[in-house]
């Protein structure tokens, strides 16, 4: 192998980092991915839960048909059409996506509709509407995030180093020269490139970036011994009223997603409150609360209001000529989601590939 070969060192094994590896391999580049945890996926992965003795996703993740790259991982028979918007207070059910677009926007941005940046709303509008059949299809994870998406993306990396937490980057003038992982160091060669595929908070440890506030998400997964039926027999519904925004049913589990979690509501009160909402959706009154697991993500997504959107980067470049950034938070005017993470990876890859 030529000693002039360029190695791309990708810091972060989430969707954006693994997508960088995916795109770079199409350029015949050498790619090494470094992930601080013992598992790949970042905010999207599957794992074996010891308490429930089940394979679980860390949270429910959804893909819509309008997301062209992510949808390529999903087989035709796995798609479902967007279902129902339910108001359990008066038992009304709506199928109008346009009339309920505020719920869709909140799902995209993890923020109330009125707080979201107008430019981000415009991007979502272009993405979703007109809401033709192909865009209307939805896939949601069913304890198979890693198998379906993460492992496939990771398959193109030349080398993956788990349990590798970046401690420091040494610079010489305008170039990174050493990656310090504590228990080992990587000396960067003349042509090597570094892509920081990290969240805003982690990225700020190594390069100057604007600090952006985060919104949180809570997922509550209930383990049931019986099949749970939602209105109209749907496998997922959106709630027009209540704490939970979406409810998903899978084999033996029911998961409620609470976007933009308000910490004024005590975490230990959520399981019973949400289960009562699920009972209302089903039209039953359960005799007991099933076993459950709470997954709380305080830094799920950056806030996507106008102020925060203005703080986001305009491109993948940094002040260092061989260091670049990727991640959904780096894409100004875009909602934070898996598809945006992929777009950021493609932009970072092209920027790094074209740089001297």
Q: How many CB atoms lie within 10 A of CB 134?
A: 12
Where are the chain's structural domains?
Answer: 7-45+146-211+306-354, 62-140+214-302
Q: Comparing 7-45+146-211+306-354 with 62-140+214-302, is the CATH topology the same?
A: no
pLDDT tens digits, one per residue of 324-349? 999 999 999 999 999 999 999 999 99
Position 131 scores a pLDDT of: 67
Query: Cβ–Cβ contacts within 10 Å for residue 163, how many?
Result: 12
Q: What are the structure tokens assigned to 142, written together? A: 């069913």
Q: What is the pLDDT of residues 256-267, one digit of tens each?
A: 999 999 888 899
How far, in Å, CA of 157 to CA of 24, rounded? 9
Contact 323, 194 (CB under 8 A): yes
pLDDT tens column, 297-321 = 999 999 999 999 999 999 999 999 9
> Average of pLDDT values for 223-229?
88
Cis amide leading into 130 (omega within 30): yes
Q: Which of 119, 50, 73, 106 is nearest to 239 (CA)?
A: 106
Kind and range of the H or E run holding 176: strand 175-180
Tokens of 126: 């272009």
The angle, 0 to 180 degrees and rounded to 10, between the axes of the packed helices 118-128 and 101-109 is 110
Exposure string (b/e) for 36-52, b if CB count within 10 Å is 16 or more? Answer: beeebbbbbbbbeeeee
Contact 36, 165 (CB under 8 A): yes
In this prediction, residue 96 carries a pLDDT of 83
The domain made up of 62-140+214-302 is a member of CATH 1.20.1340.10: no
Q: Residue 3 pLDDT > 70, yes or no?
A: no
- Single pTM value for the model: 0.94
pLDDT tier at 136, thresholds 50, 70, 90: confident
For residues 70-88, average pLDDT:
87
Q: Tens digit of pLDDT for each residue in 94-132?
A: 888 888 889 889 988 999 999 999 999 999 988 887 767
**CA-CA distances (angstroms) from residue 218 to 22, 280, 326?**
30, 20, 25
Contact 351, 337 (CB under 8 A): no
CATH of 7-45+146-211+306-354, one of 3.20.20.140, 2.60.40.1930, 1.10.287.3510, 3.50.50.60: 3.50.50.60
Residue 1 has a pLDDT of: 41
Q: Which residue has the tokens 């898996």?
A: 338
Phi, psi angles (nearest 5°) of residue 230:
-90, 170
DSSP letter string, 32-85: EEE-SSSSSBTTS-EEEETTTTEEEESS--EEETT-HHHHTTS-GGG-EE--EE
């Amino acid at each position: 192998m030529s000693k002039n070969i360029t190695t791309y060192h990708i810091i972060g094994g989430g969707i954006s980092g693994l997508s960088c590896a995916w795109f770079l391999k199409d350029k015949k580049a050498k790619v090494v991915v470094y992930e601080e945890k013992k598992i790949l996926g970042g905010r999207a992965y599957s794992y074996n839960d010891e308490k429930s003795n089940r394979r679980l996703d860390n949270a429910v993740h959804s893909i819509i048909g309008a997301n062209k790259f992510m949808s390529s991982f999903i087989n035709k028979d796995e798609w479902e059409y967007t279902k129902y918007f339910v108001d359990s207070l008066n038992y009304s059910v709506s199928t109008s996506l346009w009339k309920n677009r505020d719920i869709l926007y909140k799902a995209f941005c993890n923020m109330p509709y009125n707080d979201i940046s107008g430019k981000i709303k415009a991007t979502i509008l272009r993405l979703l509407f007109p809401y033709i059949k192909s865009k209307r299809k939805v896939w949601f994870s069913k304890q198979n995030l890693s198998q379906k998406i993460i492992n496939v993306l990771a398959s193109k990396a030349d080398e993956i180093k788990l349990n590798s937490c970046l401690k420091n980057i040494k610079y010489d003038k305008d170039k990174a020269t050493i990656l310090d992982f504590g228990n080992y160091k990587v000396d960067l060669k003349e042509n090597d490139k570094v892509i920081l595929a990290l969240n805003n908070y982690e990225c700020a440890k190594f390069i100057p970036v604007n600090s952006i506030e985060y919104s949180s998400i809570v997922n509550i997964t209930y383990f049931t011994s019986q099949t749970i039926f939602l209105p109209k027999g749907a496998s997922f519904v959106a709630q027009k009223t209540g704490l939970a925004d979406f409810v998903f049913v899978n084999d033996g589990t029911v998961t409620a997603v609470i976007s933009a979690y308000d910490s004024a509501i005590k975490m230990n009160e959520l399981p019973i409150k949400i289960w009562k909402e699920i009972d209302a959706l089903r039209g039953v009154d359960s005799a007991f609360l099933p076993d459950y697991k709470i997954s709380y993500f305080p830094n799920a997504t950056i806030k996507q209001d106008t102020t925060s959107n203005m703080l986001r980067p305009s491109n993948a470049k940094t002040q260092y000529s061989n260091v670049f950034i990727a991640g959904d938070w780096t894409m100004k005017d875009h909602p934070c989601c898996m598809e945006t993470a992929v777009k950021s990876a493609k932009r970072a890859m092209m920027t790094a590939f074209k740089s001297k």
